[in-house]
Amino acid sequence: MNMLAHARNELGLRLYLARRYWLESVSGFVLILGSFVGLLHAVMAAGEMSIHSERLNGLILGFVLWMYAGTAYSSTSSEVAEEIRARSLEQLCMGPLPLWRILAIRAILHIAGGTLILLLSFTVIAWLGREELHLLDPAVLGIVLLAAPSLLGFGYMVAGVLLVLRKMETLQLLVYPGLIALIALPAYPLNGFAALPFAYGASAARFAVGGGALGALDFIVVASNSLGWLMLGIAVFKRFEREARRLGVMGHG
């Protein structure tokens, strides 16, 4: 069976949950959309800014960065924590598809869902302001998307620790302040901070929103950083998964 069939299966699972808990799904969607659009309009009204103002673009970028960072990180670690809580992780570990691949499929679906919400938010903002939709440069969105897998790798590492230690949800939450730091670090132009996950992509995006032009080297650096952290994250996750199987903690309550 190919990955596409598994992706369809995972999408089906999401749809089952969304349909059965439709009120929760709709309210979650409205909450994200409403808070973003509401905040944006509140800032616009308070500062008498137009939708094309640079400060507003900074706010939008902040939202985009946080959404991708949070989604990429939590799509693996939260999934594992949730499966452990539901005691259904073992079922995933007994399938022919390796667990890290199932998590990768789920992460892609999460990121795709986030992108959909983002595009919908932009559409709603543009519709409310009756403005043409030019909120973010595609290059900015592109570099943020390209940087997201680095945090996916980081999420894999935390998910791996959860596999062995089981009840470590506080560890998962403790990482969030670190995520904020990664988004805020001045990693552009290229410096030591650029080696950290997501930092260079976030910095470069801020630079581009401020009027700078991104070069091919920026994309290469972000892609290499993403690939490196993702591979490292998967390797660490697999190591912890082997350790969990060796210790026999799988199947524990």
Partner 1 sequence: MEKRHSIPSSARVSSGTHDEAHPCTPSARALRDPAIHAMSGVCKHYRRGGVQIWALRDIGIDFRTAGVTGVLGPNGSGKSTLIKILSGLCTPDSGHISPPGAPARWRDIGVLLEGRSNVNERLSTFENARYYCTLREHRFDRPYFEHLARQLALADPYCPIRQLSTGLKLRSSLLLAFIHRPSMLLLDEPTLGLDVSGVACLEALIASCAGEGARVLVGSHDLAFLERICQRIICLNEGKIVFDGSADAFRSIEYAYKVSARFTSPDPSCIPEEWKEARFVGHQATLLLEKHEDLCRFMQRAQHNLAQLQAFEVSRLTLHDKYMQLLAGGMAPETGP
Instruction: Pick between residue 15 and residue 119 the one whose CB is nearest to partner 1.
Output: 15
Under rule CB under 8 A, which residues in 15-54 are in contact with partner 1?
A: 16-17, 20-21
Question: Among the candidate windows 10-18, 42-50, 148-156, 168-176, which touches partner 1 by CB under 8 A?
Answer: 10-18
Q: How many CB atoms lie within 10 A of CB 62?
A: 16
> Looking at this protein, which amino acid is placed at residue 102?
I
Nearest CA to 163 among 69, 92, 227?
92
If you compute the radius of gyration of the chain from its CA atoms, what whole number of angstroms results? Answer: 19
Out of 91, 123, 191, 224, point to the residue binding partner 1 (CB under 8 A): 91
Distance CA 116, CA 120 (A): 6
Tell whether residue 87 is a contact of partner 1 (CB under 8 A).
yes
Question: Among the candidate windows 96-104, 109-117, 141-149, 197-205, which touches partner 1 by CB under 8 A?
Answer: 96-104
Nearest CA to 206 among 222, 183, 225?
183
Distance CA 176, CA 195 (A): 19
Out of 31, 52, 54, 90, point to the residue binding partner 1 (CB under 8 A): 90
Residues binding partner 1: number (CB under 8 A): 32
Q: What is the DSSP letter of 14?
A: H
Out of 12, 34, 38, 212, point to the residue binding partner 1 (CB under 8 A): 12
Identify whether the C-beta of residue 206 lies closer than 8 Å to the C-beta of residue 131: no
**Least CB distance to partner 1 at residue 22 (A):** 13
Instruction: Pick between residue 85 and residue 134 the one whose CB is nearest to partner 1.
Output: 85
**Least CB distance to partner 1 at residue 251 (A):** 5
Q: What is the dihedral of CA 178, 179, 180, 183, to 10 degrees?
A: 120
Out of 6, 62, 142, 171, point to the residue binding partner 1 (CB under 8 A): 6
**Least CB distance to partner 1 at residue 112 (A):** 19
Identify whether the C-beta of residue 198 lies closer than 8 Å to the C-beta of residue 151: yes
Residue 217's contacts (CB-CB under 8 Å, 6 or more residues apart) are none
Under rule CB under 8 A, which residues in 213-242 are in contact with partner 1?
A: 242
Residues that bind partner 1 (CB under 8 A): 1, 5-6, 8-9, 12-13, 16-17, 20-21, 86-88, 90-98, 102, 242, 245-248, 250-251, 253
